[in-house]
């Protein structure tokens, strides 16, 4: 009579053998797909090479010049075709485009509760006036007792 452990080992060997058989076929399928993709990439690279050669031929200046002479009735420019800046009419005030809609003003802000900081004004200020009010940052000073290159915010102020 066959022992139970022998049956378990035979079953285990069969399962492992079947798993290896399946794995082998999956690997072969993947290798076939990889080879197919590599052939496709090579074919595309060759097609790109041919297209670049055709593009180079099509864009040759001598060929383009011959085609232009054959198919286009172009003549050299004459001085009469050029104009002066004084010949261009100036726009009148009526011709100046006006924006379709003016920006709508913002509604006033609600009153602030007491004890909060006052926000800066939101009214429009000319750019030059704004930059004249901007101060330059304070020069960098390392903190006392701090390693070189490190300072605290309080000492930078």
Q: In the predicted model, what is the mean pLDDT of residues 30-44?
A: 97
Find out whether 141 and 151 touch, Cβ atoms under 8 Å: yes
User: Which pLDDT value is given to residue 153?
Assistant: 53
Q: What local confidence, expressed as pLDDT, does residue 90 receive? A: 83
Calpha distance 97→128 (Å, rounded): 26
CB 63 within 8 A of CB 57: yes
pLDDT of 15 above 80: yes
Average pLDDT (38-64) is 95
What's the confidence (pLDDT) of residue 121?
58
Query: What is the pLDDT, as a whole number, of residue 47?
Result: 96
Q: Cα angle at 148 between 147 and 150, to 5 degrees?
A: 75
Q: What angle do CA 45, 46, 51 make, to 5 degrees?
A: 95
Are the CB atoms for 142 and 151 separated by under 8 Å?
A: yes
Average pLDDT (15-31) is 96
**18 pLDDT exceeds 80?**
yes
Q: Is the per-residue pLDDT at 5 higher than 60?
A: yes
Q: Which residues contact 155 (CB under 8 A, 6 or more apart)?
A: 141, 143, 144
Distance from C-alpha of 58 to C-alpha of 50, rounded to nearest angstrom = 12
Looking up tokens 């050299």, which residue turns up?
76
Percent above pLDDT 90 for the chain:
39
- The pLDDT value given to residue 124: 55
Q: What is the mean pLDDT of the segment spanning 29-48?
A: 97
Task: Compute the distance between CA of residue 82 and CA of residue 87 in angstroms, rounded to an integer.
Answer: 10
Length of the chain as a residue count: 157
């Amino acid at each position: 009579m066959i022992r139970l452990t022998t049956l378990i080992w035979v079953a285990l060997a069969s399962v492992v053998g079947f798993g290896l058989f399946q794995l082998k076929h999956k690997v072969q399928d993947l290798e076939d797909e990889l080879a197919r993709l590599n052939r496709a990439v090579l074919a595309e690279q060759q097609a790109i090479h041919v297209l670049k050669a055709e593009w180079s031929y099509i864009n040759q200046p001598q060929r383009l010049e011959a085609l232009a002479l054959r198919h286009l009735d172009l003549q050299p420019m004459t001085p009469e075709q050029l104009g002066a800046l004084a010949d261009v009419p100036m726009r009148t005030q009526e011709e100046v485009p006006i924006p379709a809609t003016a920006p709508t003003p913002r509604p006033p802000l609600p009153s602030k509760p007491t004890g909060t900081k006052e926000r800066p004004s939101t009214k429009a200020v000319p750019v030059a006036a704004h930059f004249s009010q901007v101060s330059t940052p304070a020069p960098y000073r390392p903190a006392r007792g701090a390693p070189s290159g490190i300072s605290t915010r309080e000492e930078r102020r």
